[in-house]
Amino acid sequence: MKVWLIALGILVAVPATAQVRVVTTFTDLADIVKQIGGNRVQVSALARPQDDFHLVTPRPSMALELSRAKLFVRVGMDLDLWADDLLASARNANILRGSSGYVDCSVRVKKLEVPTGRVDPSMGDIHVYGNPHYLFDPANAKLASREILEGLKRVDPAHSAEYESRYEAFVRQVDEHLKRWQATLAPYRGKPVVVYHKSLPYFLQRFGLQELATVEPKPGIPPSPGYLREVIARIKSAGCHVILVEHFRPRRFADAIARETGAKVVVLPAAVGVEGITDYFSMIDAMVNRVASALAGR
Ligand SMILES: [Zn+2]
């Protein structure tokens, strides 16, 4: 029955007017929505693949897209706080927080780095609800897809069975890929890496790698020369030779550290839509393969 439903979803063209309009904050979420919604949904992302996750500049076209959406899907925590003003100006009651068309994918995620005690500006002004970069752990993509499934069923209950089937297929695919990704990185268990921004704690935890240091002293704050000297000293004493930088970051600090230490700067394509990354799976695939190659010294 389920196989039949998937086949039907592929074969039968759904007129654009009958499709559920979905707007996500990021391109990786848009891909997951497509995988769960198939041709029942028409999905677009507000941020461009080359944007800094935290610093997306709102454009008038974004509010227009939101005004027409039946479902809004976000990473949540404070990664896409920039979308809140857009949501307010879109004046679409169906997708406001608490409405049936509002999906926060972080709800089921076990959050890392949640601050204890008082949060003040000296800690950096982002990651105040914990680390929001959870989608880099494929196990969390399953939790996010569950929220998306529930959202699609709320706004389009007539096609719940189709969405359920595709959700189950997505989860199976994640599990299959995850086995392979874990095998690829298994030889490097416990190895230290330097990361530019604190964007990889979920990824590193999943694959058993260690964050030795970050190029930014706090999330969103650029390093001082004194701080860079500390990072360089730590890299030299730990024998770490890999600096991971997401595709949209400036290279100069990481390059300066690399020159002093001989470590290699590895650029990670961390969004669907950059460098031939067509979907969530190819994004994690590229990240895993690049990290593995760098740790192998290739
Ligand atoms: Zn961040």
CATH for 241: 3.40.50.1980
Residues 189 and 214 in one domain: yes
Residues 26 and 124 in one domain: yes
Domain that holds residue 231: 180-295
CA of residue 223 to ligand 1 center, whole Å: 15
Output the six-digit token pair for 34: 């497509």
pLDDT digits (tens, 9 = 90+) for 73-100: 999 999 999 999 999 999 999 999 999 9
CA of residue 177 to ligand 1 center, whole Å: 25
The pLDDT of residue 3 is above 90: no
Residues 236 and 279 in one domain: yes
3-class DSSP state for residue 107? Answer: coil
Residues 167 and 189 in one domain: no
- pTM score, whole prediction: 0.92
CA of residue 160 to ligand 1 center, whole Å: 34
| Helical residues (DSSP H) of 186-279, grouped into ranges | 201-207, 225-238, 252-261
Output the pLDDT for position 36. 98
Residues 111 and 185 in one domain: no
CB atoms near residue 85 (< 10 Å): 12
Output the pLDDT for position 1. 41
Q: To the nearest 5 percent, what fractions of the chain are helix, strand and coil? A: 50, 15, 35
CA distance 197 to 126: 11
The contacts of residue 4 (CB under 8 Å, 6+ apart) are none
Asked which of 146, 176, 206 is the last residue of a domain, the reply is: 176
CA of residue 121 to ligand 1 center, whole Å: 15
Residues 212 and 163 in one domain: no
Residues 213 and 268 in one domain: yes
Contact 8, 174 (CB under 8 A): no
CA of residue 54 to ligand 1 center, whole Å: 6
pLDDT digits (tens, 9 = 90+) for 289-298: 999 999 998 6
Residues 47 and 126 in one domain: yes
Output the pLDDT for position 297. 87
CA of residue 4 to ligand 1 center, whole Å: 42
pLDDT digits (tens, 9 = 90+) for 181-237: 999 999 999 999 999 999 999 999 999 999 999 999 998 899 999 999 999 999 999
Beta strand 242-246 pairing with 264-268: parallel
pLDDT digits (tens, 9 = 90+) for 152-193: 999 999 999 999 999 999 999 999 999 999 999 999 999 999
Count of domains in the chain?
A: 2
pLDDT digits (tens, 9 = 90+) for 93-135: 999 999 999 999 999 999 999 998 776 666 566 899 999 999 9
Q: Give the number of C-alpha atoms closer than 13 A to the C-alpha of residue 276, restricted to the C-beta side.
A: 3
Asked which of 176, 208, 227 is the last residue of a domain, the reply is: 176
CA of residue 78 to ligand 1 center, whole Å: 8
CA of residue 176 to ligand 1 center, whole Å: 28
Residues 73 and 99 in one domain: yes
Residues 146 and 190 in one domain: no
CA of residue 132 to ligand 1 center, whole Å: 6
CA of residue 174 to ligand 1 center, whole Å: 24
Question: First and final CA of the chain: distance in angstroms?
Answer: 47
Output the six-digit token pair for 94: 């169906």
CA distance 156 to 125: 38
Output the pLDDT for position 211. 97
Residues 158 and 41 in one domain: yes
Output the six-digit token pair for 57: 């500049």
CA of residue 220 to ligand 1 center, whole Å: 7
Mean of all residue pLDDT scores within the chain: 93
CA of residue 91 to ligand 1 center, whole Å: 28
Torsion of CA 183, 186, 188, 194, to 10 degrees: 80
CA of residue 6 to ligand 1 center, whole Å: 36
CA of residue 87 to ligand 1 center, whole Å: 21
Compute the average pLDDT of residues 256-280.
96
Contact 152, 103 (CB under 8 A): no
Q: Which long-range contacts (CB under 8 A, 24 or more apart) does 3-12 make?
A: 5/161, 5/162, 5/165, 6/38, 6/162, 6/165, 6/166, 6/169, 8/162, 9/38, 9/39, 9/40, 9/162, 9/165, 9/166, 10/38, 10/39, 12/39
CA of residue 32 to ligand 1 center, whole Å: 21
Judging by beta carbons within 10 Å of its beta carbon (0-12, 13-18, 19+), is residue 111 exposed, middle or buried? middle
CA of residue 247 to ligand 1 center, whole Å: 14
Residues 41 and 170 in one domain: yes
Asked which of 176, 207, 231 is the last residue of a domain, the reply is: 176
Band (pLDDT 50/70/90 cuts) for residue 17 is confident
pLDDT digits (tens, 9 = 90+) for 35-70: 999 999 999 999 999 999 999 999 999 999 999 999
Q: Which helix (H) or strand (E) holds 44?
A: strand 41-45
Torsion sign (Cα): 58, 61, 67, 72:
negative
CA of residue 56 to ligand 1 center, whole Å: 12
CA of residue 58 to ligand 1 center, whole Å: 18
CA distance 254 to 223: 10
